[in-house]
Amino acid sequence: MLNKKILPALGSLLIISQAANTQEKGVTITAKYDSLPRKELLLQLEKKTGFFFYFDSGRLDTSKISFQANDEALEIVLNKLMDGTASTFAIDYPNKKVYITQQIKIQTTLPRGFYADGDNIAAGNTTADSSKMLYNHRVSKTEQKLRFEVGSGNNGGKPVALIQGIIRNGRTGEPMSNVSILIDNRYSTTSNQYGEYSVSLPTGDYPLSVVGIGIRELTAEITVHSDGKLNIDVQQQVPTLREVIVSARKTSNIRSTSMGTAKLDITSIKRIPALFGETDILRAITTLPGVKTVGEASTGFNVRGGSTDQNLILYNEGTIYNPSHFFGMFSAFNPEVVKDVELFKGTIPAKYGGRLASVLNVNNREGNKKNITGSAGIGAITSRLQVEGPLDKNKTSFIAGGRTTYANWLIGLLPAEYEKSRASFYDINLGISHRIDSSNNLYFSGYLSNDKFSLNNDTTYKYTNRNFSLKWKRTLTKRLQGELIAGYDHYEFETASLNNETNAYSLAFRIRQMFTKLNFTYFKNAQHSFDFGISSLLYKLDPGSYTPGKAGSLVVTDIVQTEQALENAAYFTHIYSPTPDLSFSTGLRYSLYSFLGPKQVNYYAPGEPKNENTLTSTVDYKSGKFIKTYGGPEIRFSTRYAFNPTLSVKAGFNSQRQYIHMLSNTTAISPTDIWKLSDPNVKPQRGEQVSVGLYKNLKSNTIETSVEFYYKRIHDYLDYKPGAKLVLNHSIETDVISTEGKAYGAELMIRKTVGKLTGWISYTYSRVLLRSTAQDQQWQINNGREYPANYDKPHDVTLTSSFRINHRLGLSMNSTYSTGRPITYPIGRFYYAGSARVLYSDRNQHRIPDYFRMDLSVNIEGNHKVKKLTHNSWTVGCYNLLGRKNPYSVYFVSEDGSVNGYKLSVFGNIIPFINYNIRF
């Protein structure tokens, strides 16, 4: 009965006049209902009030709720019933009718000045809003369509119009990034991190579709008269038990020129089981093809044959040098404040530079612009709290979050020899966004993290990150936007032993950098768009200081001289689409790096190995002196051809330069890693990569498939001589070896994006081989032959899946297999000078055993009652479900005249976990 009513009733809205202002607000309700579906509640209200309720029962939220009202107005009652759903309502009091709709809110009165010419329409710049659109006069037999009109009807004789706008979360008012706007399946664009989009198309009538992960698809008809704005509010997707119908227009992965790019929203990341149940952004990244980790409890990752220091990790524009907590078991990013994560590993945009392998861009949310909300979580090892809301409603918002640990009880479960061990960490995030006016916005971001631990001795390890940035975004014209960014990054670590006053010491390292960026985006038309800008980065490194820890200490002070450098860059990118099926992205970045004084620099005989015997002079440069300058162009090119809306092929070429190096004798990121700037004796790293890929969507675009192939060359990568000293080395150039490398591989991914079962499976085949170019023959590794890098793992398979059983219960599983990484084995013994010696194989000629792990978690939501102070959920599960003793490393010990090998496993048992989560 109700479904038949809705069409003529909606049509009647078109003749509602201002007489509707005489609303009968005297309707009140007193009732109590327990655990009823919303459809039944609406029917009960229809009987009680005498109003006719019009709705599509198939589109209502299917969960059951309990409800109580005590002499409350009808509008207040309906607000409570629809809270937390994708539905909204409109009340026509004179005609006693209530309309329940999705995606839009029907207007029962005409807006003020509706009939006044020019009152609501500015020539050439009409602004439409999805929350204020009426239904189209022409009603389909099967579906009611939204209709948007953009422009005034006068476009100055131009046949093409520019549409701009912002995609916003209808509930919180936050901008929505990575949302696809598709018009007539020919014109498409994607909202940026500010929710903004621009698209150019001929004037006329078109079908419009707005789609994205985690939002309910919006379809409409759009009439384009001239240039104008269209702001669209979208609703978050509410999972239901009925079948989901998917639009055939979800093809942004097919039409984008980007390849080797992965985007994950925080909802997808939270579904992946993680160690101790703590959502981990970097663990989620390692489930993607082409991204690997060297083992358990390692937060660093390797991308397409690159080392861990060849990844640029940006957090709200700031650089994170150590993205880990708690021995590498947790990443440094609080998932409660993160909006999305973007990884560039193929076609890296020209605006990014300074690293060879990848760029990981992590962005925080702006905060709820309408209401104070928050969340909290309590786990076995960590707790977290996050609060957000408006400082000035719809204008200024904030978001703040913090995490801490209480893990000493867990360490107490270790054997008695570790009873003195301690570990703790915390991190704090703060973000503020402020809308000055329609053209200007300010954004502030602050981040602080701190780790401290000791392992069964009196030596304490501490490291900290501090990052601050301020961004000013300005719309200069309707086609040109700019942003000015300034910030400060700080990372330091310290090891100290203070118990014994005689030997008390402190060993510290610090890196500081200040940066500015000026970026512009110019959208000319559907065929041409441009990105361009400049950046400047000032490095200041303290490579090591060894000082007495107490007044009575006999430790002799040893401080490695500070290093400074300035890295400037300019970039330009042109995206050209001559046809909707063919597109090119051409970019050029020019970087200029200068190593600065004060610095004492050693010079060696040309063409000779660098050692004390070939040292020719030492020059002491004054502060600010330009000692050595490197630079050159970096090319970024990619192209895409779409054979049809579900099939495309892409190809790309990248070249990069990296001026900072990490000195480490481990394969994973460690707090004690030291960074080194390029100088007259250490050249910058360089790399080139060519890649090609095929992309195909299946089953109405519900399944995305892709296969990519790549080949990369690496120049001047640093490796080390046997027995190299990395800490407090005043002449590190004498212990490093320059190498050349190559990496190649294939990446396959199959991803299901909608339905009760979602997830992806990825397979990677990759190799990374190095060859030393040392001038001294005795230091050429493996006699100059190629050898695998420490992180070379040819095969890697990962399956990540989530199954939504109902509104309250969901299962998530993650399983991964990879080839063991390379190792150098002892293969024999020999006698020399009267002593037994161990004979080792060539470097990295053997491998540790393969790795396999399976994780499982269950997500249990609380009930969905509307009138609740908090909404709660539980996450329970097991990490390493099969209890495999996967090796992290293999080591050898001489015992009783023989050399014995041992396998070290970080987690050799099942690790159960439970987390309690609160939203308010």
CATH topology of domain 126-255: Immunoglobulin-like (2.60.40)
Mean local confidence (pLDDT), 264-282: 78
b/e per residue 454-483 (b: at least 16 CB within 10 A): beeeeebbbbbbbbbbbbebebeeebebeb
What percent of the chain stands above pLDDT 90? 35
- Predicted pLDDT of residue 250: 53
Q: Is the pLDDT of residue 17 over 50?
A: no
The partner residues of 187 in beta bridges, in order of sequence, read 183
- Predicted pLDDT of residue 1: 38
Token digits for 473? Answer: 């975004």
Nearest to 818 by CA among 787, 856, 855, 849: 849
Could you tell me which residue, 113 or 98, shows the higher pLDDT?
98
DSSP 8-state code for residue 721: -
- Predicted pLDDT of residue 109: 60
CA angle, 667 as apex, 795 and 409 as ends, to 5°?
105
- Encode pLDDT of 173-211 as tens digits: 888 888 888 888 778 788 888 888 888 888 888 888 888
Strand pairing class (318-319; 311-315):
antiparallel
Separation between Cα atoms, residue 240 and residue 215, nearest integer Å: 13
Q: Per-residue confidence at 103, pLDDT binned at 50, 70, 90?
A: low
Cα torsion 182, 185, 187, 193 to 10°: value is 30
Token digits for 891? Answer: 């080591």
- Predicted pLDDT of residue 19: 34
DSSP track, 353-378: -S-SSEEEEEEE----SSS-EEEEEE
**Residue 285 one-letter amino acid:** I
The partner residues of 219 in beta bridges, in order of sequence, read 209
- Predicted pLDDT of residue 5: 40
Mean local confidence (pLDDT), 210-234: 83
DSSP 8-state code for residue 478: S
With residue 895 as reference, give the H or E element that holds it.
strand 889-895
Q: Is the pLDDT of residue 862 over 80?
A: no
Q: Tell me the CB-side half-sphere exposure of residue 886, using CA atoms within 13 A.
A: 24
Cα torsion 413, 415, 421, 424 to 10°: value is -30
Q: What is the rounded average pLDDT for all residues in the chain? A: 82
Q: Is the pLDDT of residue 686 over 50?
A: yes
Mean local confidence (pLDDT), 444-461: 86
CB proximity list for 450: less than 8 A, separation 6 or greater: 425, 426, 427, 462, 463, 464
Could you tell me which residue, 864 or 309, shows the higher pLDDT?
309
822 contacts 845 by C-beta, under 8 angstroms: yes
- Predicted pLDDT of residue 287: 87
- Predicted pLDDT of residue 904: 74
Q: Per-residue confidence at 514, pLDDT binned at 50, 70, 90?
A: very high
Q: Per-residue confidence at 12, pLDDT binned at 50, 70, 90?
A: very low
- Residue 764 φ/ψ, nearest 5 degrees: -130, 130
- Predicted pLDDT of residue 416: 61
3-state secondary structure of 107: coil
696 contacts 705 by C-beta, under 8 angstroms: yes
Separation between Cα atoms, residue 467 and residue 264, nearest integer Å: 23
Highest mean pLDDT among 94-108, 398-412, 820-834, 839-853: 839-853
> What is the number of H-type helices and E-type strands within the chain?
7, 57
Angle subtended by helix axes 38-49 and 74-82, to nearest 10:
170
Burial of 874 (0-12, 13-18, 19+ CB in 10 A): middle
- Predicted pLDDT of residue 118: 37
Using alpha carbons, list the distances in angstroms from residue 840 to 739, 828, 829, 843, 845.
21, 7, 9, 8, 10
The partner residues of 399 in beta bridges, in order of sequence, read 388, 431
Mean local confidence (pLDDT), 740-765: 92
Write the CATH number of the domain with boundaries 272-919.
2.40.170.20
DSSP 8-state code for residue 408: H
Separation between Cα atoms, residue 104 and residue 678, nearest integer Å: 57
- Predicted pLDDT of residue 509: 93
Separation between Cα atoms, residue 572 and residue 351, nearest integer Å: 8
Domain boundaries, given as residue ranges, for the chain: 2-102, 126-255, 272-919
Nearest to 704 by CA among 659, 749, 673: 749
Could you tell me which residue, 747 or 331, shows the higher pLDDT?
747
- Encode pLDDT of 867-897 as tens digits: 667 778 888 889 888 988 888 777 777 777 6
Cis peptide before 598 (omega within 30 of 0): yes
Q: Is the pLDDT of residue 727 over 50?
A: yes
Mean local confidence (pLDDT), 610-630: 93
Mean local confidence (pLDDT), 15-29: 47
DSSP track, 282-317: HHHHTTSTTEE-SSTT----EETT--GGGEEEEETT
Assign domain 2-102 to its CATH architecture: 3-Layer(bab) Sandwich (3.55)
| Lowest mean pLDDT, pick from 81-90, 127-136, 166-175 | 127-136
**Residue 23 one-letter amino acid:** Q
| Lowest mean pLDDT, pick from 57-61, 471-475, 695-699 | 57-61
171 contacts 919 by C-beta, under 8 angstroms: no
318 contacts 445 by C-beta, under 8 angstroms: yes
Q: Is the pLDDT of residue 144 over 70?
A: no
719 contacts 781 by C-beta, under 8 angstroms: yes
- Encode pLDDT of 381-401 as tens digits: 888 999 999 999 889 999 999
- Predicted pLDDT of residue 619: 95
| Lowest mean pLDDT, pick from 244-258, 562-576, 752-766 | 244-258
E-only strand ranges, 372-458: 373-378, 382-392, 396-405, 422-437, 440-454
Token digits for 239? Answer: 């999972």
HEC profile of 145-157: CEEEEECCCCCCC
| pTM confidence score | 0.80
